[in-house]
Amino acid sequence: AQKITQTQPGMFVQEKEAVTLDCTYDTSDPSYGLFWYKQPSSGEMIFLIYQGSYDQQNATEGRYSLNFQKARKSANLVISASQLGDSAMYFCAMREARFGFQKLVFGTGTRLLVSP
């Protein structure tokens, strides 16, 4: 089973509008971290936001917020007031806390295009 599922291969949004990128995850571990990264065409993976499984509130970082619904195992990224520079690939990732080294598992990504 896929640990991280991103069902939207591509999303379109107009400048200044908000957009939600979906991410669902699968784990039986009560302790885990969820991460979102942005990958522009240059290739670098840029860390955006983190949500821990025990965090009571949804994480926010500037225009980015994470809609964390633990019971539904979803961790959707919300970008408010989209800008042209937000056009990129976005990856959701998870790391569990089981004993021993646990790798960061990535989804397949969502390509976001912001139009003027």
Binding site for other proteins (CB under 8 A): 31-33, 35, 37, 42-47, 50, 52-53, 91, 95-97, 101-104, 106-109
CA dihedral 18, 23, 28, 34 (to 10 degrees): -60
Least separation in angstroms between residue 92's CB and other proteins is 9
Nearer to other proteins, 18 or 52 (CB): 52
Q: How far is CA 67 from CA 40, 98, 102, in A?
A: 22, 24, 24
Nearer to other proteins, 12 or 52 (CB): 52
